[in-house]
Amino acid sequence: MDAGRHIWDGASSMKPINAEIIEVVEETPTIRTFFFERSFDPEPGQFVMAWIRGVDEIPMALSYDNAITVQKVGPATSSLFELGSGDSIGIRGPLGKGFDRKPGHILLVAGGVGAAPLAPLAEKASSEGMKVTTLIGAKTKKELVFRQRFEKAGNVLIATDDGSEGKYGYVTQLIDNNKDYSQIYCCGPEIMMKKVLDKVPPSKAQFSLHRYIKCGIGICGACCLDGLRVCKDGPVFSGDVLKKSEFGIYRRNECGERVKV
Amino acid sequence: MLSLTLTGLKLKNPLMLAAGIMGTTGGSLKRIADSGAGAVVTKSIGLEPKSGHSNPSMVDVDCGYLNAMGLPNPSYKNFQHEIDTAKEGGVPVIASIFGGCSLDFSQISIAIHADAFELNVSCPHAQGYGAEIGTDPILVEEITHAVKNTVDVPVWVKLTPNVTNIKSIGLAAQRGGADAVVAINTIRGMAIDIESGYPILGNKFGGLSGRAIKPVAVKSVYDLYEALDIPVIGVGGISDWKDAIEFIMAGAQAVEIGSAVGNNINIFNEISSGMEAFLSEKEWTLEDIYGMAHQV
């Protein structure tokens, strides 16, 4: 896969390390950022396996060098939401391949909590002198994530499903003149990412995927999208690789059964 | 140079993908076939869809990996199309199957079309399945016999090392009509998070794979080679071509590779090149080194 030159070297794959929570920030009514006392030194787009002891271990994008940003969606994230400063969880990572940063004017397309891996990319790209434009989509104004971080890094356009902020509609409707961009980076619900993929030159776009991940280290195959291991070959893939896959059509559930996206 | 016939299957090399590794989707099996494997074995498939144990289900423990996946699988009813996709890789596809009794095994094997079956009677962490059956010679013989009566392709039986005497289980498989035995599955193990006292795996304990278990696997293959008339397939901690050669010298007709695929998806090509170079330099054939450790 060519969508990332930052290859995990195996040294960080050991047992979960203890990470103490030092601060919890409520980003939106359903999304919180958990800051840890230690940095994981990730490349933007890499993820960790977050172990809420006695409950579950789940893949989470790093939204800062020392933080994950989580939407409350199920038992594991609900348990995590009960934790606060002074509590700790186990962390394996950083894992996987992050975004491959290309010079020039880049476009970021964020949907909901999909802003989590894109915000550190915006900051890093901006600090390296790249021009950054970000399109943020959310259900409603209160659910916009990391707006100020993106605004500090460059231009921002917003779309909300209910029209409470920015354009009334989907973030994908904000994409135009994509020829102006050297690279397009996208993370959000899969249906939204598929729409982006259908709208832009696939070889110029990178997508951060979400799949059910078990081992996190490229062995078990539970997260495979056709032959691609989301945990190890990804989670970031280039659009031309995804174009030939079941991306946007099927995902696999915990049993490995095909489920329509 | 590395081609062989294994229980009637023609293989371009003796290096196969082990069960439970990248074996849930047809696309991932095909990718391994395209990366030089002589054959691929699927994820173990059972009667009903199963989500497996809660995470963490795999952890790196320095000397190898501990896992307790818990046999997640989409069931045999949703799996034939994955096998058919895997077949596009052009190498034999072996279906690994599991069940709680001989009837389960028959029901699954009659419905699945594959080039061979590998009976998983050796998973160390699934209640009512795997090693809970595979430690009982009478059950192993009965299950093997049942599948042999159901299918007309080769039947291999994968053995657990978590027994006092692996030869007695191998002999039971042979009496049941097995065409080969596969040794070994993982070794029971556990890891504890010292910050909290929690066992790390969601299932608390699991099976150890990788480098650490290679000497145990080599000894098992060596013993089974002496005790059985049917071929032995070696598996357990193979990470490079030297490991593969060692297993064949111990008496394995072919080998399976699992954990090492994670960090090196191209391992099958690398191991076959390494074996070819070694055999050329020594002026040996695959046949020459097969069971060599028993002859010197």
Encode pLDDT of A183-196 as tens digits.
999 999 999 999 99
pLDDT value at position B88?
97
Given A77, A95, A113, the domain boundary residue is A95
**Chain B neighbors of A222, CB-CB under 8 A:** 24, 69, 72
Question: What percentage of chain A has pLDDT greater than the value 70?
Answer: 95
Indicate yes or no: CB of B191 within 8 angstroms of CB of A15: yes
Is A74 inside a domain boundary? yes
Q: How far is B87 from chain A (nearest CA, A)?
A: 14
Residue A2 forms part of a structural domain: no
> Are the Cβ atoms of A218 and B72 closer than 8 angstroms?
no
Please give the Cα distance from B247 to B228 (Å, whole number): 16
Whether the predicted pLDDT of A224 surpasses 80:
yes
**Is A191 part of a structural domain of the chain?**
yes
| A7 located within any domain | no
Least confident of A125-129, A227-231, A256-260, B188-192: A256-260
Q: Are residues A115 and A224 in the same domain?
A: yes
Domains of chain B: 4-51+71-187+211-295 (3.20.20.70)
Q: Is the pLDDT of residue B261 over 60?
A: yes
pLDDT for the residue numbered B129: 83
A contact test, residue of B24, B75, B77, B194 with most A CBs within 10 A: B24
Within this chain, do residues A167 and A241 fall inside the same structural domain, yes or no?
A: yes
Residues A197 and A116 in one domain: yes
Mean pLDDT confidence for B118-126: 88
| pLDDT at residue A70 tops 50 | yes
Does the distance separating the beta carbons of B60 and A13 come in below 8 Å? yes
Q: Could you give phi then psi for residue A205, rounded to 5 degrees? A: -125, 145
pLDDT above 70 (res A9):
no
More confident residue, A208 or A74: A208
Band (pLDDT 50/70/90 cuts) for residue B126 is: confident
Q: How high is the pLDDT of residue B125?
A: 79
Confirm whether A227 is domain-assigned.
yes
Which residues on A lie below 8 Å from B192 (Cβ)? none
Domain count of chain A?
2
- Does the structure show a pLDDT above 50 at A8? no
Q: Do B51 and A258 touch (CB under 8 A)?
A: no
User: What is the rounded average pLDDT of the residues A8-22?
Assistant: 74
Nearest to A257 among B49, B67, B69 (CB): B49
Catalytic residues of B: 123
- Tens digit of each residue's pLDDT (9 = 90 or more) over A25-48: 999 999 999 999 999 999 999 999
Question: Of A59, A77, A95, at which residue does a domain stop?
Answer: A95
Among B59-63, B81-85, B179-183, B290-294, name the one with the lowest average pLDDT: B59-63
Mean of the per-residue pLDDT values for chain B? 96
Mean pLDDT confidence for A140-146: 96
Domain of A221, CATH number, reads: 3.40.50.80
Does the pLDDT of residue A11 top 60, yes or no? no
> What pLDDT, on a 0 to 100 scale, did the predictor assign at position A3?
38
Q: Which residues of A touch B (CB under 8 A)?
A: 10, 13-16, 18, 49, 51, 53-58, 88, 90, 92, 214-222, 224-229, 232, 245-246, 252-258
Instruction: Report chain B residues whose CB lies below 8 A from the CB of A89.
Output: none
Same-domain status, A121 and A242: yes
Nearest Cα of chain A lies from the Cα of B228 at a distance, in angstroms, of 31
What percent of chain A lies above the pLDDT cut of 90? Answer: 90
- The predicted model gives A217-246 an average pLDDT of 95
pTM for this model (two decimals): 0.93
DSSP per-residue codes, chain A: --S-S----STT-SSPEEEEEEEEEE-SSSEEEEEESS---PPTT-EEEEEETTTEEEEEEEEETTEEEEE--SHHHHHHHT--TT-EEEEEEEESB-----SSEEEEEEEGGGHHHHHHHHHHHHHTT-EEEEEEEESSGGG--SHHHHHHHEEEEEEETTSSSSEES-GGGG---GGG-SEEEEES-HHHHHHHHHHS-GGGEEEE-----SSSSSSS-TTEETTEETTTT-BEEEHHHHHTSSTTTEEE-TTS-EEE-
pLDDT band at B272 (very low <50, low <70, confident <90, very high): very high
Give domain status of residue A171, yes or no.
yes
Give me the mean pLDDT over the B186-198 stretch: 96
Minimum-distance CB partner of A215 among B43, B57, B196: B57
- Backbone angles phi and psi of B294, in degrees to 5: -90, -15
- Domain region containing A178: 105-260
Chain A residues lying within 8 Å of B200, measured CB to CB: 15-16, 51, 90
Residues A218 and A124 in one domain: yes
What pLDDT is attached to residue A7?
Answer: 40
Query: A82 and A118, same structural domain?
Result: no
Position A12 in a domain: no
Say yes or no: A88 and A128 in one domain.
no
- B103-121 pLDDT tens trace: 999 999 999 999 999 999 9
Considering the domain architecture, whether residues A51 and A176 belong to the same structural domain is answered as no
Q: Establish if A5 belongs to a structural domain.
A: no
Per DSSP, the residues of B6-56 read ETTEEESSSEEEPTTSS-SSHHHHHHHHHTT-SEEEPPPB-SS-B--SPSP
Share of chain B above pLDDT 90, in %: 95
Can you read off the two tokens belonging to residue A99? 């975004």
Residue A124, classified by CB atoms within 10 Å of its CB into exposed (0-12), middle (13-18) or buried (19+), is middle
Render pLDDT for B148-187 as a digit per residue (tens, 0 to 9).
999 999 999 999 999 999 999 999 999 999 999 999 999 9
Does one domain contain both A142 and A244? yes
Q: Are residues A111 and A169 in the same domain?
A: yes
> Which residues in chain B (254-293) have CB-CB distances under 8 A to chain A?
258-259, 261-263, 265
pLDDT of the residue at A13? 47
- What's the full length of chain A, in residues? 261
Mutation choice for B interface testing from A220, A230, A249, A251 by most B CBs within 10 A: A220
The CATH code of the domain that includes A77 is 2.40.30.10
pLDDT of residue A179: 78
Q: Give B73's contacts in chain A (Cβ within 8 Å).
A: 255-256
Q: Does B197 touch chain A (CB under 8 A)?
A: no
Q: Which of B20, B27, B261 sits opposite A227 (nearest CB)?
A: B27
Q: Do A134 and A188 sit in the same domain of this protein?
A: yes
A139 with A232, same domain: the answer is yes
Residue A10: its pLDDT value, please? 41
Residue to substitute from B21, B54, B59, interface A, most A β-carbons within 10 A: B59
State pLDDT tens for residues A206-217.
Answer: 999 999 999 999
Average pLDDT of the residues in B120-142: 87
Among residues A70, A95, A120, which one ends one of the domains? A95
Q: B158 in contact with A at a CB cutoff of 8 Å?
A: no
